[in-house]
Amino acid sequence: MTETNNILLYQPGLTEYKKAWNLQKELFTTNFNIKTGKTNGDTSNHLFLLEHPHVYTLGNSGDKNNLLLSDEMLNKKKASFFKIERGGDITYHGPGQLVGYPVFDLDKLHLSIKEFVYNIEEMLIATVAQYGIVAERLEGATGVWLDPHHPQKARKIAAIGMKISKKISMHGFALNVNTNLDYFDYIIPCGLKNKGVTSIKKELGNEVPLNEITAVLRHAFEKVFGVKLILEEMNA
């Protein structure tokens, strides 16, 4: 495995959304500028695995009406809201959810955009499979689903929403582990009505330690992408 297959991994724990967003944008801009020949510097690929406090995010093409809370109600729920530059509609992040942000130069990994998204889905499917959960893709919808071919039972266990420009990626995926699913009641997730959400905890009937599922996901990520994750310390 060559050095170009090394991914720098950061696990800062519970992190405010704005801070994580700013870190991504800084790395994205650096890699983007290097790739377009505007500057010189490090083109390492980076992966963040973390949790957020309660937050709702809305993608570029999303509809604010899919957030069913007023600003006052957001405050009461101790949740924040951000409109961001990723694809997709509205989603929720919060404690007990494992969020991943790959800031990658896909050319360095010899991946097309389609292959990259496919690998993210495959990695998430392999992760939940370790707990006996059978997840699949749902045609015409993003994310990873359980019982996708049964309209009354279909439920999302992991969401995917990214920005990819000049084959540089940011934003990413969110896997519901021990997530408080009540917070999804206040949105129309990804703009899809009559589609449920679930978590590993709900499917198993018990909590799974987040550090345990993180280790499982890291292994699946390395196997699916053919890379080595190198754990790095976050600068204060």
Residue 2 is predicted with a pLDDT of 53
Band of pLDDT at residue 220, cut at 50, 70 and 90: very high
pLDDT digits (tens, 9 = 90+) for 143-175: 999 999 998 899 999 999 999 999 999 999 999
Q: Which of 190, 210, 220, 224 is catalytic?
A: 190
Least confident span in 49-53, 60-64, 186-190, 224-228: 186-190
Q: Where are the domains of the chain?
A: 3-231
Secondary structure of the chain in HEC code, one letter for each residue: CCHHHEEEEEEEEECCHHHHHHHHHHHHHHHHHHHCCCCCCCCCEEEEEEECCCEEEECCCCCHHHECCCHHHHHHCCCEEEECCCCCCEEEECCCEEEEEEECECCCCCCCHHHHHHHHHHHHHHHHHCCCCCCECCCCCCCEEECCCCCCCCEEEEEEEEEEECCEEEEEEEEECCCCHHHHHHECHHHCCCCEECCHHHHHCCCCCHHHHHHHHHHHHHHHHCCEEEECCCCC
The mean pLDDT value for 214-231 works out to 98
Q: Is 190 a catalytic residue?
A: yes
pLDDT surpassing 60 at residue 236: no
Interval 122-146: pLDDT, tens: 999 999 999 999 999 998 888 999 9
The hierarchical CATH code for the domain 3-231 is 3.30.930.10
